[in-house]
Amino acid sequence: MNFQPLGKRVLVERLEEATTTASGIIIPDNAKEKPLQGTVVAVSNKVKNVTNGDTVVFGKYAGNELTLNGKSYLVLNLDDLLGILQ
């Protein structure tokens, strides 16, 4: 199943959060926060400054969750993106 965002939106796959700290302490699943970074998977035709494969940073409560083919994604408005990591 393919998904094409409409308007000024992008489809983002969250990057996985580390499961251990730098000192080796294991973080349980219920204590982890959702990551605020992700990889752009699809872009609408109206978005010009973000492309597929970009790693982006977004707000904590931004976007709408969507499940496609058993994977979880976020649909974000362009205004919800805080920047592109390079």
Question: What is the dotted CATH code of the domain comprising 9-16+32-85?
Answer: 2.30.33.40
Q: What is the DSSP letter of 20?
A: B
For the segment 4-51, what is each residue's pLDDT rounded down to a tens digit? 999 999 999 988 765 555 676 665 555 455 668 999 999 999 999 999
pTM of the model: 0.79
- For residue 80, is pLDDT > 60? yes
Which residues, 6+ apart, have CB-to-CB distance to 9 below 8 Å?
44, 47, 75, 76, 77, 78
- For residue 84, is pLDDT > 70? yes
Residue 76: count other Cβ atoms within 10 Å of its Cβ: 23
Query: Which structure tokens are listed for 19?
Result: 């499961």
Determine the pLDDT at residue 20. Answer: 59
Q: Where are the domains of the chain?
A: 9-16+32-85
Interatomic CA distance for residues 80 and 28, integer angstroms:
28
